[in-house]
Amino acid sequence: MGAHDYLRFILALLAVLALMGLLAFGLRRYGMGGGALPGVKRRLNVLETRPLDHRHKLLLVKCDEREHLILLGPDCQTVIDANITAKAES
């Protein structure tokens, strides 16, 4: 293989990576990569996560102006506190 073949390989690789990036950008732009359609208000947001150890973490989730504290682990998911009134954002 000569230098010409290596150059063709590198240019082809860059072209494929550029096309993948354009596809990802287009999917995000038109709402296909985020899970919700454009113009649809999302009801569920993950506000904060905190690891407790290497197997468990706490998750603060907001759904319809209520917050829920959830403990996630490899064997179980436990709701610790539900119906927490969300603080007004300033």
Using DSSP, state whether 77 is helix, strand or coil.
strand
Where do the domains of the chain lie? 1-40, 43-90
Choice among 16-30, 36-50, 54-68 with the minimum mean pLDDT = 36-50
pLDDT bin (cut points 50, 70, 90) of residue 27 is confident
**What is the distance between the alpha carbons of residues 44 and 30, in angstroms, rounded to a whole number?**
20
- pTM confidence score: 0.51
Q: Pick from 87, 51, 85: which is nearest to 71 by CA?
A: 51
Q: Are 85 and 67 in contact (CB under 8 A)?
A: yes
Using one digit for the tens of pLDDT, what is the confidence trace for 70-90? 999 988 888 887 777 766 665
